[in-house]
C-alpha cells in the first residue's frame, strides 16, 4: 500500500483499547498487517513463505482470521466502497445490483466435502457467486462447491442482500437465473430480477448491457494469484458461506482494488465534485470582490480570509510548517 493509498486508515475499525473498552494494545500497525495480507493474496504464496519484511506469519494469519470472524474485514470493505460511491457522485447505499458466478479449479488441499464438478465449465473445484453494484464494486461474495447451480446460490444470497441493502429493488442477471427464481424473488423479496440474455443472432464477442460490469469485477478478482486457483483448505457446507476463508480472500482482493480506485478517484474528480469546486470558486471570487470594495476584509466562519489552494505560497510559511503544505 502506497502513501497515497494509506489514506484509508481513517476507515479502519477502531480497536477496543483505543476507545477505552479494555483489551491489550496491539503490537503491530494495521497498515503493516494489511500490506502482508494483500501481499499473500496478490502473489499467491503460503503463509509460512511470507518475507521477513513483514511481521511474523503467524501474527498476520491470526490478524486475518480474527478480522474475518469478527466481520471487521467486511466492515472496512463496505466503508471504502461507500467512499468511492460518494466520490463518483452516487449514494452510499446502492439501489441496483448485478449477480453472476465464476468457477475455479481447486487444489489438492481442498477437501472433497466443499468441492464439486461444474459440468458446464468442466471445472472440478469451487464456484464464486458475486453481486456487484452499478459501478462494479463488490457487494456480496458467496463461495460454494462447483456443482451448486446459480439458482440454488441465488436463493441463499438474495434474502441476505435484501436485508443488508434495503434500497436494492433491481438485480440484473444472465440466463442461468431464469425460471421460478424470478417469480419467487418478486413475491417473497419484492425484488425485480431482470434477465439480460444474449440474442441468437449475435456472433462473436458482444458487450451485453449491465452484465459486463460484473464480468469486469470477476476479471479484477482473477488478477490476484491466490484466487486463480482455490487453495483454501477450510471446510464449509456445500451450499456455501459468506464468512468462509475463500470469500474473505475475494473480499481482500476487492479491498485492494478499491484502495487503488479510491486513490484514482481522488486524483480525478467526478462531475459532481467539479460542479461543487466551481461553485466554491465562484463564491470565493464574489467574497474577494466584496472584500476589495469594502474597507474591512470579510472573513469566513473560521475567522480566516478565504484563499484558493493554488494561491498558497509555501515560502511565506514558517520553516517548521513548510513540509505540511
Three-class DSSP labels, 247-260: HHHHHHHHHHHHHH
User: CA nearest 265: which of 18, 83, 107, 61?
Assistant: 83
Residue 311's pLDDT band, with cuts at 50, 70 and 90, is: very low
Q: Delimit the domains of the chain by residue range.
A: 5-69, 93-267
Q: Which CATH superfamily is domain 93-267 in?
A: Ribonuclease H-like superfamily/Ribonuclease H (3.30.420.10)
From 29-33, 55-59, 84-88, the region with the lowest mean pLDDT: 29-33
CB neighbour list of residue 234: distance below 8 Å, 6 or more residues apart: 114, 244, 245, 246
Residue 144, pLDDT > 80, answer yes
Find the DSSP H helices in the chain. Answer: 30-43, 57-70, 72-87, 150-164, 180-189, 211-221, 225-228, 245-267, 271-293
- For residue 7, is pLDDT > 60? no
Best CA proximity match to 245, nearest among 47, 102, 7, 96? 47
Question: How sure is the predictor about 74, in pLDDT bands with cuts at 50, 70 and 90?
Answer: confident
Contact status, residue 54 vs residue 30, Cβ threshold 8 Å: no
pLDDT of 204 reads 73
| Mean pLDDT for the stretch of residues 129-141 | 94
Please report the pLDDT score of residue 264 as a whole number. 58
Q: What share of the chain is helix, strand, coil (3-state, %, to 5)?
A: 50, 15, 40
- Tell me phi and psi for residue 291, to 5 degrees: -65, -40
pLDDT per position as a tens digit, 152-191: 999 999 999 999 999 999 999 998 999 999 999 999 999 9
Decide if 72 contacts 13 (C-beta within 8 A).
Answer: yes
Indicate the pTM of the whole model. Answer: 0.74
> What's the rounded mean pLDDT across residues 213-217?
92
Rounded CA separation 175/6 (Å): 41
Residue 40: predicted pLDDT = 93
CA 180 to chain CA mean position, Å: 31
Q: Which 3 state secondary structure label does DSSP give 309?
A: helix
Inter-residue contact 63 to 238 (CB < 8 Å): no
Amino acid at each position: 500500500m502506497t502513501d497515497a493509498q494509506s489514506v484509508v486508515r481513517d476507515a479502519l475499525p477502531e480497536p477496543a483499547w483505543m476507545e477505552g473498552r479494555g483489551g491489550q494494545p496491539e503490537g503491530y500497525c494495521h497498515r503493516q498487517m494489511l500490506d502482508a495480507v494483500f501481499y499473500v493474496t496478490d502473489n499467491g504464496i503460503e503463509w509460512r513463505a511470507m518475507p521477513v519484511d513483514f511481521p511474523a506469519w503467524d501474527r498476520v494469519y491470526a490478524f486475518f482470521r480474527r478480522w474475518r470472524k469478527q466481520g471487521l474485514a467486511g466492515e472496512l470493505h463496505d466503508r471504502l466502497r461507500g467512499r468511492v460511491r460518494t466520490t463518483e457522485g452516487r449514494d452510499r447505499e446502492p439501489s441496483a445490483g448485478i449477480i453472476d458466478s465464476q468457477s475455479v479449479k481447486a487444489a489438492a488441499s481442498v477437501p472433497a466435502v466443499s468441492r464439486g464438478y461444474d459440468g458446464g465449465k468442466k471445472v472440478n473445484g469451487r464456484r464464486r457467486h458475486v453481486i456487484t453494484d452499478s459501478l462494479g464494486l463488490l457487494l456480496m461474495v458467496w463461495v460454494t462447491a462447483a456443482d451448486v447451480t446459480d439458482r440454488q446460490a441465488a436463493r441463499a444470497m438474495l434474502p441476505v442482500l435484501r436485508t443488508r441493502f434495503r434500497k436494492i429493488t433491481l438485480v440484473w442477471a444472465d440466463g442461468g437465473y431464469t425460471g421460478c427464481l424470478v417469480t419467487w424473488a418478486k413475491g417473497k423479496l419484492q425484488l425485480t430480477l431482470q434477465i439480460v440474455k444474449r440474442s441468437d443472432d449475435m456472433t462473436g464477442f458482444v458487450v451485453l448491457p449491465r452484465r459486463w460490469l460484473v464480468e469486469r469485477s470477476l476479471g479484477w478478482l482473477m488478477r490476484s494469484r491466490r484466487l486463480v486457483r482455490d487453495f483454501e483448505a477450510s471446510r464449509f457446507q456445500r451450499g456455501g458461506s459468506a464468512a468462509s476463508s475463500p470469500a474473505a480472500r475475494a473480499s481482500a482482493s476487492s479491498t485492494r482494488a478499491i484502495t487503488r480506485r479510491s486513490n484514482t478517484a481522488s486524483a480525478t474528480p467526478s462531475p459532481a465534485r467539479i460542479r461543487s469546486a466551481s461553485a466554491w470558486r465562484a463564491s470565493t471570487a464574489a467574497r474577494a470582490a466584496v472584500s476589495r470594495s469594502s474597507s474591512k476584509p470579510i472573513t469566513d466562519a473560521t475567522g480566516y480570509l478565504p484563499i484558493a489552494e493554488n494561491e498558497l505560497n509555501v515560502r511565506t510559511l514558517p520553516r517548521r510548517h513548510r513540509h505540511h503544505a
